[in-house]
Structure 1
Amino acid sequence: MEKILKNCFDTFLTNLIPFESEKELVSFQMGAIFSCLQRSFSFLELCEAGSFARELTTIRGYSSRDLLAVCPEKIFPWSPADAIAELKNVLKGKFPGIKGIYNNKCCVKIPLGNTPFETVQIFPAIFKGYMQTTLGMKPYYSILNPEGVWTYISPKAQQDYLDAIDIPRDGMVRKMIRLLKAWKYYYLVPINSYYLELCIAKYAKSQDYMIYDIDFKAILQLLYDTNLENVKDPVGISGYIKPCNSEIQKQNILVKIEADLLRATIAVELRAMDLAECLNLWNTIFCKRFPINW
């Protein structure tokens, strides 16, 4: 029964991998975005950030492409709101045929289609140099956080930190991240994806090996028991990472965690006794998208 359960999780994870067409859609437009920003802002580079930068944690149909528009510091002397507004105006001028280009306090969003994965999020960024981290010297940037305040980030340090935990565990950490992200996206759970990754990586450091269902349940338990407390950036660049944007969101997340923690607990108890019901519970946890035919 355990082998069948593992095969079902493996199949589900395969179904979460983005199609190559999803990656190519954005890559096709990156050249135009690059030339546009280079002309307007003495632009230096487009730097990949987010799930695509950390590799193997993206979710088919849901993960957007996050790009840092890295410019010299003198290019963004204005207020954060002015920086975002100027970036949006330039991009709207370049892509007049794309309707719905909009911005929030931290980035400009370009909808290349109707689904989340067809959205490109462009963050104005300033290259600050190299900082000593727990993993050695790493390049870091200043970007705007969801509150519209300049903060530091290092995509390279984030990826290296995840690699250091994931590789010795045969890729299971990234697989667990994908499972939790699928749960997040399918039910629109408003939890910060990077926060989720850090919590899973922190948990995994104490595990020599991981088993899909048992550790999924354990991670939900950890999130619930810690009451979604802020997590300190383990590489020492970004300060403390919040789980979400408001206290109301936090309470809603905890309600969802509590409900699915109960389901996951029962599913783990049934894994050796009633596989059919066990799989039905996982199917509920993953919004009726988990394979149950075996």
Structure 2
Amino acid sequence: MAKTVDQGFEEFLKRLVPTEAQRSAGASHRASVKGALESKLTVWNFFETGSFSHGTGVRHHSDIDALVSLGNSKPGSSYTALTWVKDALSARFPLTTVRISRPAVQVLFGGGYETWEVIPGFLTSSGDGAMIYDIPSPVTGGGWISAAPREHNDYVNECNKEPGQGNAKALARLVKAWKYYCNVPVSSFYLEMRAAQHVKSIDAYIHVWDICLLLEKLRDNELADMNDPKGASSRFSATSSDSMRADALSKVKTAATRARKALDAYRADDADTAFYYLDLLFGGQFPSR
């Protein structure tokens, strides 16, 4: 049991890291997913892009994200490209649930214990070292948007060095834990980029302070679309529909209030009250005191 708030956060972050068994399972399916795509489509490149491999995933919640760069001619409809990927994966895994969930195709291995999300992409630019792809929009019924996943991972890595090694990824993992434990319909990628942006803007970092400040920023800007800090792709949306946005806004307001109460208690050396509000903030999953 943690005695201080700072110890509570350190214990919590340890619990959030995916297990070695999860990492091994993901690695074991990589070749079969790639092979399934190559057997049906022209694959130029295939690489993991998301939080699981990038050090910001949450145990039992983060999917394994990958982008498949296709050499086929880009169709007019992004749904067509998603269907190509779904059909290729369904042919290889006929007893596994394979479904479209924009902007990706999900493969639910083990009934969902391990989920791969494969995003079809078409390379549109590789100038100045930036690899930019057209990928399906996450918005229901949407077309195409620009994405630069490697550049965005590089941005998080850059921010992770300021103001102390590891803080951008720690804050990203914390805000994603809030998302998963409180069922908040907001993009994990959006939260990760906002967390990195926040850490880049500060001179000192403390978990209880900065999760509060980040949530208050999200509340105050009302989950506004975010400009790409690398200037390589489209603006990032927090949610994929108006109904999800309303739900997410309601939950971020509640979260910001709880985080502020936890911070106020921390500043007043009232650890019991701080732990109480942090447990509420993280859906009953924060360590006990």
TM-score normalised to structure 1 length: 0.90
The correspondence for 1:79, drawn from 62, 77, 80, is 77
CA contact (8 A) 1:270 1:278 kept: yes
* Pairing 1:48–2:44 present: no
Partners of 1:52 and 1:256 in 2: CA distance: 25
CA contact (8 A) 1:73 1:127 kept: no
Structure 2 counterpart of 1:106, which letter? P
Q: CA deviation at 1:52?
A: 2.9
Partners of 2:234 and 2:32 in 1: CA distance: 34
CA contact (8 A) 2:69 2:120 kept: yes
TM-score normalised to structure 2 length: 0.91
CA contact (8 A) 1:8 1:291 kept: yes
Task: Please tell me the root mean square deviation across aligned C-alpha atoms, in Å.
Answer: 1.9
Partners of 1:263 and 1:228 in 2: CA distance: 18
Q: CA deviation at 1:83?
A: 2.0
Unaligned runs of 5+ residues in structure 1 are none
Map of 1:121 onto structure 2: 117
Q: CA deviation at 1:73?
A: 4.2
Unaligned runs of 5+ residues in structure 2 are none
CA contact (8 A) 1:38 1:44 kept: no
Partners of 1:82 and 1:37 in 2: CA distance: 15
Partners of 1:159 and 1:105 in 2: CA distance: 20
Q: Deviations over 1:127-173 (max 9, x none)?
A: 334133xxxx2222221121342222122101111111111322111
SS at match of 2:126: strand
Map of 1:94 onto structure 2: 92
* Pairing 1:223–2:215 present: no
Q: CA deviation at 1:82?
A: 2.2
Map of 1:130 onto structure 2: 126
Map of 2:133 onto structure 1: 141
Distance verdict in 2 for CA 1:73–1:129, change over 3 Å:
farther
Structure 2 counterpart of 1:250, which letter? R
Map of 1:12 onto structure 2: 12
SS at match of 1:101: strand
CA contact (8 A) 1:130 1:138 kept: yes
Partners of 1:83 and 1:202 in 2: CA distance: 32
CA contact (8 A) 1:34 1:45 kept: no
Structure 1 counterpart of 2:11, which letter? T
Structure 2 counterpart of 1:69, which letter? V
Partners of 2:288 and 2:214 in 1: CA distance: 23
Partners of 2:76 and 2:88 in 1: CA distance: 16
Structure 1 runs of 4+ aligned residues shifted over 4 Å read none
SS at match of 1:141: strand
Map of 2:159 onto structure 1: 165
SS at match of 1:240: coil
Percent of paired sites with the same residue = 27
Partners of 1:214 and 1:35 in 2: CA distance: 46
The correspondence for 1:190, drawn from 169, 185, 202, is 185
Structure 1 counterpart of 2:105, which letter? V
Structure 1 counterpart of 2:95, which letter? G
Map of 1:63 onto structure 2: 62
